[in-house]
Chains A and B, each alone.
Chain A
Amino acid sequence: MNKLMRRRPCKFCAAKKETIGYKEVPTLKEFVTDRGKIIPRRISGNCAYHQRGLTTAVKRARNIALLAFAEER
């Protein structure tokens, strides 16, 4: 639990990555749960700027069937 609550730095800032494209599926999958939901910022530690870009990218990827809207379990 403690591990989850500890503030972690934004992964995209750390990687010096300015933008996130919807075609970068392996990266997008890292920030989506097994069920296909976007992981909230408070868990991933992403900054507001990168979380916004990530959200847009995930939604575009879903639109064009690169990602699922919801994964059955």
Chain B
Amino acid sequence: MTAYETVFILKSSFSTEEEVAAIEKVRGVIERGGGVVSTLDRWDRKKLAYPIKKEKRGVYVIAHYEGGGAVISQIERHCKLEESVIKSMTTRLDPGALGKAIPNPDEKPIFFQEKFKGLRR
């Protein structure tokens, strides 16, 4: 069993019910693939840095789970077929980080550039 994190971008035009349904579908896919879901949470509705499939905004959902290779292929298949998912990305996760999916919005960023802003590079 390996720990994974998958980010899904869902269509932002969904109603709350449709959104919940799309998230539960993902849960079903992970469980059918033999995965154990740790957390599956909505992160935020965000503006995409570049349009994907003509969508300018998306709802970011983050799943933390453990599983074998079968889960990953199931998820990739789901994302290809399922129209509610605009894009997804799976990364390996340090098992110690399982469950800590949503970043703390109050955490202070590390600053570097203030003095360089406007410099052309």
**Residues of chain A at the chain B interface (Cβ within 8 Å):** 11-12, 15, 17, 21-24, 26-27, 29-31, 33-35, 37, 39, 44, 60, 62-69
Asked whether, in the complex, the Cβ of B50 is within 8 Å of the Cβ of A68, the reply is: yes
- B: interface residue count bin: 20 to 34
Are A24 and B49 CB-contacts (below 8 A) given A35-B121, A60-B89, A64-B89? no
Cβ of A20 to closest chain B Cβ, rounded Å: 8
Contact status B49-A66, CB under 8 Å = yes
What DSSP secondary structure best describes chain A's contact surface?
loop
Q: Is B30 an interface residue (CB 8 A)?
A: no
B10 on the interface (CB 8 Å rule)?
Answer: no
Q: Which residues of A contact B62 (CB under 8 A)?
A: 23
Q: How far apart sit A60 and B66, CA to CA, in the bound complex (Å)?
A: 20
Instruction: Decide if A30 touches B111 in the complex (CB within 8 Å).
Output: yes
With a CB–CB cut-off of 8 A, which chain A residues contact B71? none
* Cβ-closest 9 pairs across A and B: A26-B109, A65-B48, A27-B109, A68-B49, A30-B112, A33-B121, A64-B89, A23-B103, A65-B49
> 8 other contacts beyond A23-B43, A24-B109, with CB at 8 A cut-off?
A11-B110, A12-B110, A15-B110, A34-B121, A60-B91, A65-B49, A65-B58, A65-B87
B50 in complex: contacting residue of A27, A37, A69, CB < 8 Å: A69
- CB neighbours (8 Å) of A67 from chain B are 49
Contact between A30 and B110, CB atoms less than 8 A apart: yes
Q: Is B85 an interface residue (CB 8 A)?
A: no
Query: B9 contacts the other chain (Cβ, under 8 Å)?
Result: yes
Give A70 to B109 CA distance when docked, in angstroms: 22
B52 within 8 A of A: yes
